[in-house]
Structure 1
């Protein structure tokens, strides 16, 4: 019995390349996470200071989200045509240029330039999220979710460090004659530019291009309906006419389910998270208490990623997607019932909210990656992230209207109930 040497030779560079790629992505994500968190921490405050009103501060966040959505398409298309390395590097470079534009706007006091620069700055956010797909390109199907979670958890390290550097960067800005609130964007610009440099130099081999070279891209069986068998790529049953083949239907089902899971979890998470500090302020809590609750929430969004990835790989993508809906429902119930003068229940609620988002994002990403062939993977993933960005913007804008009209408890419980849309969709999905 002979050893299948060609298969072993083929698998060897894949494993070695995957380890190298994950290391490079982790470094880039730590840097970009620091830049992202630093900018987000003071963005609304800078807008309020420059514009003299809080009414337009939300517009700045909306422009950042719009820029993120457009960048997700651009990064996806560049990655599809030329590989992950140029796509991700270009996205981070755009974020660095946006950071420089925000600093320039603060120097000259130009609100129009501030809005335009914030739109460009949103590219960093989109690229930070798109990087998780690069971690899964070369991963074996049984390890894809763990690869995604490794990239996600790296963002946490930078995300924790970024806000702690707000004060030092503000002091540096003061020494340079730049408005203090623009200081964190010095860090954001440097972090994004360095992340682009790291990816541009060291993300070799390109994970998407190497995956295409190594794989014959046969249709994945994960979402072929039960009881049906995918037909070979060059054949079609005589009586099917123009109907999609089972493998094609399975792929479409996977894309729809994965997108639904991530869109719903993003919308519910952003809606409840956005209004929790406002709710706490209305009940007399200070910035320190709100900051603690949000810190717990952000930690729960990213820190469970290694465990989540193992669960998604070990059990079933759709099972963990269902768990994300139940976690979001629990978050809504706890938040709605939390006494206004108590911080601990809200911290628990937002921890569950972050966990639900994490479960949904890792499971949804794995579902999408399983379902989409390499030939169109990056472009499809970019379009999916556009939907996620739009859902986040919609959740943020709608949350204020709901709280103003019906109160925070109704927003929380309504968001939890909305998350249950995932359950029947998952139950109806072919496995």
Structure 2
């Protein structure tokens, strides 16, 4: 018997179904928290910091915070299991959301910057949860397991941006600036997601997967230890490259879209609608992406990510400035390309990393992804201030094509 076969016994299959159900519930809640920073973070920064050039600062800060949290969540999960790692990450994201609201009330820029950094832990945890869905999945179903966790985020992430006006009115009724309203929702959503995982994510998927693998290895007799495998092998590098490129392009274009719309007379409601469509496209196609990855291989889906991101950049650059539908199409393509990249990259890495080092490696990979997102968010405002939104979109389209030579190089090496 092999370790892979041990992971598909009836008892483990039942545990996997329960684990996925708990993860889905937590992701629905956390999706609303995730959407807050995407929708109004740049607008809040523009009001408090002044100037379009600094509008990318919130995205950069909570992405840098996401990077730091990704490593922490990965290391905690490696040592103690997914449950404490994910629950602590969401709790930290809730704390950061409360800090953003307090900073807006006090008009304190320093507190805003610190709180946005802490808020990024929620984003990191939302993404790390996809790995928990794959821990017990059979290799042939790994793409679908990851996609199940991701698609659950859609509900909260789509509802969240459309509550911008409602939460703004609610916040103003409490004497809080309207743009801080979505962060009130984020605090509640992240705290609830953390509580669900802490109470209900039993058995722990990573610990159970390790136990099953240890049993299988013992039954198989002496052999090569899984931990002896090279962690940063060509497949891990490829999966990381795919996710880094798609994250960089997605964050850069997405961050400046609400600002671009505001500068051309669109209100926060229209921006919220476009972002809601974008976030839906980031997560809703996950079942399709997962099935494609399982059937045709994750490398084919990675190539589709490059083509889709290229189309998104060109469409965004060509969209008439007063056309909300055109921008919505561009942002939908942007989200779909990101989805293809995330699911294919995750599947490539999970297949290539042994259980003995899996969570730690995944945390390091997500650190790299988050740094790329921070770079995209921070540089996007500077580039738009120096050139235009259209040039930013075209640059993103060009960068997305870097996935193609990465795939070719990996094919040659492997």
Number of residue pairs matched by the alignment: 402
* Alpha-carbon distance, 1:389 to partner: 1.0
State the distance in 1 between where 2:68 and 2:35 align: 20
Instruction: Tell me which residue corresponds to 1:429.
Output: 410
Say whether 1:271 aligns with 2:252. yes
Q: What TM-score do the two structures reach when normalised by structure 1? A: 0.84
Shift of 1:423: 1.2
1:224-247 per-position Cα deviation (integer Å, ceiling 9, x unaligned): xxxxxxxx627xxxxxxxxxx9x6
The 8 Å contact of residues 39 and 185 in structure 1, kept in 2 or not, is answered as: yes
State how 1:193-208 maps to structure 2 within 5 Å. 193-208=191-206
Name which of 338, 349, 353 aligns with 2:330. 349
**Gap change, CA 1:296 and 1:82, over 3 Å in 2:** same
Report deviation, 1:403: 3.5
Task: Give the 5 Å matches for 1:9-408.
Answer: 11-50=9-48, 56-216=54-214, 233=224, 248=230, 252-281=233-262, 285=266, 287-408=268-389
Does the 8 Å contact 1:98/1:119 carry over to 2? yes
Q: Distance in 2 between matches of 1:383 and 1:255?
A: 11
Distance 1:339 1:180 in 2: 29
CA distance in structure 2 between the partners assigned to 1:38 and 1:401 by the alignment? 22
CA distance in 1, matches of 2:173, 2:258: 32
Runs of 5+ unmatched residues, structure 2: 218-222
Q: Which has the higher contact order (CA 8 A, sep 6+)?
A: 2
TM-score norm. by structure 2 comes to 0.87
Structure 1 residues 397 and 56: alpha-carbon distance in aligned structure 2, compared to 1, 3 A threshold:
closer
Runs of 4+ in 1 over 6 A off after TM superposition: 7-10
- Cα distance between partner residues in 1 of 2:48 and 2:259: 22
Q: Secondary structure at the match of 2:9?
A: helix
CA contact (8 A) 1:297 1:353 kept: yes
**Contact 1:103 1:185 (8 Å CA) reproduced:** yes
Mapped to 2, the partners of 1:339 and 1:182 lie a distance apart of: 30
Which runs of 5 or more residues in structure 1 are unaligned? 1-6, 220-231, 235-244
Report the CA distance between 1:129 and its aligned residue.
Answer: 1.0
What RMSD, in angstroms, separates the aligned Cα atoms of the two structures? 2.8
The 8 Å contact of residues 60 and 118 in structure 1, kept in 2 or not, is answered as yes
Contact 1:100 1:185 (8 Å CA) reproduced: yes
Alignment CA distance shift 1:340-1:261 (3 Å): same
Post-superposition shift, 1:103? 3.0
Contact 1:10 1:214 in 2 (8 A): no
Contact 1:257 1:429 survives alignment (8 Å)? yes
Matches of 2:323 and 2:251, distance apart in 1: 22
- Checking the alignment, whether the CA contact within 8 Å between 1:95 and 1:121 is kept in structure 2 is yes
**TM-superposed deviation, 1:379:** 0.8
Looking at structure 2, the residues matched to 217 and 400 of structure 1 have their Cα atoms a distance apart, in angstroms, of 53
User: For residue 226 of structure 1, what is the aligned residue in structure 2?
Assistant: none
Alpha-carbon separation, structure 2, partners of 1:217 and 1:75:
26
Per-residue displacement from partner, 1:402-426 (whole Å, max 9, x unpaired)? 3444444433333222212111221
CA contact (8 A) 1:217 1:373 kept: no
Once the two structures are superposed, what CA deviation does each residue of 1:348-397 show, in whole Å capped at 9, x if it has no partner?
A: 32222211111010000001101111111111111111111111111122
Q: Is the 8 A contact 1:38 1:165 kept in 2?
A: no
1:150-205 Cα distance to aligned partner (Å, 9 max, x none): 11111110112223444444454455454444333332222111111111110000
Change (3 A) 1:346 1:111: closer
